[in-house]
Amino acid sequence: MITVIFPAAGQGKRMKAGMNKVFLELGGLPIFIRTLLKFSGCSCIDEMIVVAAPDEVEDMKQLLSTVEGLKPYKVVSGGSERQYSVWNGLKAAAADTEIVLVHDAARPLVSEDTILRTIDEARLSGGAVAAVKAKNTIKRCNGDGVVEETPDRAFLWEIQTPQTFRMQLLMKANQKAEEDGFLGTDDASLVERLGAMVKIVESDYYNIKITTPEDLVIAEAFLKAQEGNR
Ligand code: CTP
Ligand code: MG
């Protein structure tokens, strides 16, 4: 069984829309619905779990109930940090889940090819994250803005989602993070702490996380480009 967890319980503060950004429309549909429809088009996906802010669970259920063509889904309540939201989602997954994907509800432009390749790689290696090669030079600085190091760009990747794992591995990683009070910025970092292998799956530059207002403009253009390519 393959389950996808969609963290959607953020506040979208950087979008400055005065609401959770995943409800904003992209090409006439709420962003999170577009994301779920993308995964619903993959025949290998069995179950989808949307993690909603506690006071948005009913709104999300209502919106989802009007959409045709979705894979079986549940809506559960999230927490104050993305990591806690994902953990709640994992606990709600079907007991016979072998492979779990975590995918930001705010990334509706992911390709089916990327989704499938992370699944294949997670089966082989245990963990797989979608990523693109860093386009910019990245420097590590100290707290005063003084440059300390310029890592070789050839080894730098910008990490996206899906982040896909064998279910037992991601459960164990979240359990351990909770015990240790560790808060990571993505799912793979919790798995890395266990010393387990996580592999990169090269994705594409369309798979942006809609974060700030200009991302919506870019996403509308990307959506048109993707639809034009069909
Ligand atoms: N998310 C979540 N639970 C949280 C925080 C974030 O489920 N407590 C989700 C968001 O809804 C989003 C994804 O995690 O789909 C990626 O997070 P991010 O882009 O940071 O979204 P927000 O936290 O909503 O935005 P911001 O940080 O600007 O407030
Ligand atoms: Mg956030």
Q: How far is CA 30 from CA 104, 106, 124, 192, in A?
A: 14, 10, 34, 33
| 3-class DSSP assignment, residue 198 | coil
Residue to mutate, 39, 104, 160, 174, ligand 1, most ligand atoms under 8 Å from C-beta: 104
Q: What are phi and psi of 158, to 5 degrees?
A: -95, 125
pTM over 0.95: yes
Q: Which ligand is nearest to the CA of 11?
A: 1
Ligand 1 pocket mutation, candidates 4, 16, 77, 82, criterion most atoms within 8 A of CB: 82
Q: Is 107 in the pocket of ligand 1 (CB under 6 A)?
A: no
Give the separation between CA 213 and CA 215, rounded to whole angstroms.
5
Q: Judge if the beta carbon of residue 77 lies within 6 A of ligand 1.
A: no
First to last CA, the chain: 29
CA dist., res. 55 & res. 46, Å (int): 27
Q: In this predicted structure, what is the pLDDT of residue 78?
A: 98
Q: What are the residue ranges spanned by the domains of the chain?
A: 2-228
Ligand 1 pocket check for 103: Cβ under 6 Å: no
Q: Is the CB of 11 inside a 6 Å radius of any atom of ligand 1?
A: yes
pLDDT score at 228? 87
Q: Which atom of ligand 1 is nearest to the CA of 32?
A: 15
Structure tokens of 186?
């993505």
The encoded tokens of residue 162 equal 């899906």
9 lines ligand 1 (CB under 6 A): yes
> Ligand 1: does its nearest atom lie under 6 Å from the Cβ of 109?
no
Ligand 1 within 6 A of 7 CB?
A: yes
Q: Please tell me the predicted confidence (pLDDT) of residue 79.
A: 98
The pLDDT tens digits along the chain (230 residues) read 999 999 999 999 999 999 999 999 999 999 999 999 999 999 999 999 999 999 999 999 999 999 999 999 999 999 999 999 999 999 999 999 999 999 999 999 999 999 999 999 999 999 999 999 999 999 999 999 999 999 999 999 999 999 999 999 999 999 999 999 999 999 999 999 999 999 999 999 999 999 999 999 999 999 999 988 77
What separation in Å is there between the alpha carbon of 84 and the centre of ligand 1? 11
Residue 39's nearest CA partner among 71, 86, 76 is 71
Pocket of ligand 1 contains residue 108 by CB under 6 Å: no
β-strands 73-77, 47-52 pairing = parallel
Fold topology of 2-228: Spore Coat Polysaccharide Biosynthesis Protein SpsA; Chain A (3.90.550)
